[in-house]
Amino acid sequence: MSKFDVVIIGGGPGGAKAARVLADGGASVAIVESAHWGGVCLNCGCIPTKMLLGATAPQGLLHGLERQRVAKGTIEVDYDALQKRIQRFTRGSAQALTKGLEQAGVALFNGHARCTGAHHVEVLADDGTVSATLEARRIILAAGSRSAAFPGLRPDNDAILDSTALLAIPAVPASLIVVGAGAIGLEMADFFNAMGTKVTVVEAAPHIAPTEDADIAAEMQKLFGKKGITCISGVKAASLLTRGDQAVLTLEDGRELFAEKALVAVGRVPNTENLGAEKADCGLNPRGFVSVNEYLMASPTVYAIGDVNGQTLLAHAAEHQGTYVARHILEMEQAPYNSGPVPSCVYGSLEIMRVGITERQALAEGGEIGVSSAQLMTNAIAQAGGDACGFVKVVWQNGKVAGIAALGHGVSHLVTVAQLLLLGQYCGERLHHFMFAHPTLDEILHTALEAPPKKIG
């Protein structure tokens, strides 16, 4: 039995960050990872998708310039070489991560971890035998999530794939159905479209990018359409099956769609079945996520961070929570956890970024709501890039900036500026108090913050 101040279950962004902060703070820490160090984000999530999209980025830019008739050309992406490069990079990053943790004095365990009590964690080897037993003052659950599957919408690893399998697909399919138009679905649609795949996106919600406002989604769907991506929304999938060597999607309205492959990207479920959370006096909510209080505590001795608590399924939310929990354990934080405004992006040749709340959320919350906006075509840097479609919108609530969102080429570059402008409530008089660099894409945020808000609702 090895004793630690803290045992962390899960070596993804949240767990690794907590481990590092705790170790730097003088705590003795163990961390257990069952699959890949760096978690979904590094190995089959944010990072590999960004590297795919990075490889098709010149093409996206070139197309914008081609429409302006100032450039033409051909670009060929070597898909095999790209896959190998991604593997090299993620492997190297995982090694850097574990090396950094080891150097900080963290004890690393490979295996599946489960709680056996309020202070105890067992590590199981691949063959199911117990390879280590750990005792801790505090346990942090950071076990993450995996792709959801529903009856009728279940990857079969034949023609029906989840995002992990699609990321590792050995050859670019001729056609692809994407079920679910959240960030993962949209990014995959964009990449494979750029690679020449005929892509159809299907979303059960009234519009694609269902967590965003309808105006953002409508513009994205229009611009995706110009790229040749078909979007169908507001219709549920009745079934998705491999028939022969094809994926066949039957919609509830009776339509049938066929493609070489289909991606199921209809959400994520927490890795809580064999976590032993109940043995550590933790409760799960009806969707299987670990319930936590305002300190992200699931029990007096157990914290849960990242996807596994279901609050915000984003790598940087996990990191932020991991930092908070580590500092709470180190008694460097006393206040309840406050996420602050949450930034999020959809990346690709056409991007969405948002910080804070949507117009829809603001209307639901109430107060005096307004929206001000600015078109990217008025921005010189957007114009210089060739493709200046899209816009920025600022959501105002009782005279304060409550959310900033954007749709267009390269707008993921705006997310941290928007975050800091929102946090600092840089509007009105305060906008004059610093020098805004010119020419930058960032200036479009300034323009939108200066534009008179239209009252909504």
Tokens, residue 349: 């040749």
d(CA 112, CA 66) in angstroms, rounded, equals 51
Q: Phi and psi at residue 268, in whole multiples of 5°?
A: -130, 150
Q: How far is the CB of 217 from a second copy (least distance, A)?
A: 20
CA 281 to chain centre: 29
Mask for 22-41, x = binds a second copy (CB under 8 A): -------------------x
Whether 255 contacts 215, CB under 8 Å: no
Quickly tell me which residue has 């299987």 as its tokens. 288
Of 285 and 378, which has the nearer Cβ to a second copy?
378
Contact between 58 and a second copy by CB under 8 A: the answer reads yes
Site for a second copy in 233-262 (CB under 8 A): none
Site for a second copy in 400-429 (CB under 8 A): 412-413, 415-417, 419-421, 423-424, 426
d(CA 313, CA 326) in angstroms, rounded, equals 19
Contact between 1 and a second copy by CB under 8 A: the answer reads no
Query: Is 185 assigned to a binding site?
Result: yes
Considering only 167, 282, 317, 406, the residue that binds a second copy (CB under 8 A) is 317
Considering only 28, 116, 246, 383, the residue that binds a second copy (CB under 8 A) is 383
Closest-CA residue to 138 (of 318, 259, 7): 7
Can 438 be counted among the known catalytic residues? yes
Contact between 297 and a second copy by CB under 8 A: the answer reads no
With CB under 8 A as the rule, give the number of residues binding a second copy: 77
DSSP 150: B
Tokens, residue 413: 């570059």
Closest-CA residue to 441 (of 364, 392, 381): 381
Of 25 and 117, which has the nearer Cβ to a second copy?
25
Query: Is 245 assigned to a binding site?
Result: no
Q: How far is the CB of 207 from a second copy (least distance, A)?
A: 23
Contact between 169 and a second copy by CB under 8 A: the answer reads no
Q: How far is the CB of 50 from a second copy (least distance, A)?
A: 4
Mask for 424-453, x = binds a second copy (CB under 8 A): x-x-----xxxxxxxxxxx-----------
Considering only 47, 132, 142, 179, the residue that binds a second copy (CB under 8 A) is 47
Considering only 205, 342, 363, 451, the residue that binds a second copy (CB under 8 A) is 342
Q: Phi and psi at residue 361, in whole multiples of 5°?
A: -65, -40
Contact between 168 and a second copy by CB under 8 A: the answer reads no
Give 358-361's long-range contacts (Cβ < 8 A, gap of 24+): 358/211, 358/212, 358/213, 358/395, 358/403, 358/405, 359/213, 359/393, 359/395, 359/403, 359/456, 360/213, 360/214, 361/403
Closest-CA residue to 38 (of 104, 87, 105, 83): 87
Of 38 and 180, which has the nearer Cβ to a second copy?
38
Tokens, residue 196: 């020449």
Query: Is 50 assigned to a binding site?
Result: yes
Contact between 345 and a second copy by CB under 8 A: the answer reads yes
Annotated binding site for FAD: 50, 307
Catalytic residues, by residue number, are: 438
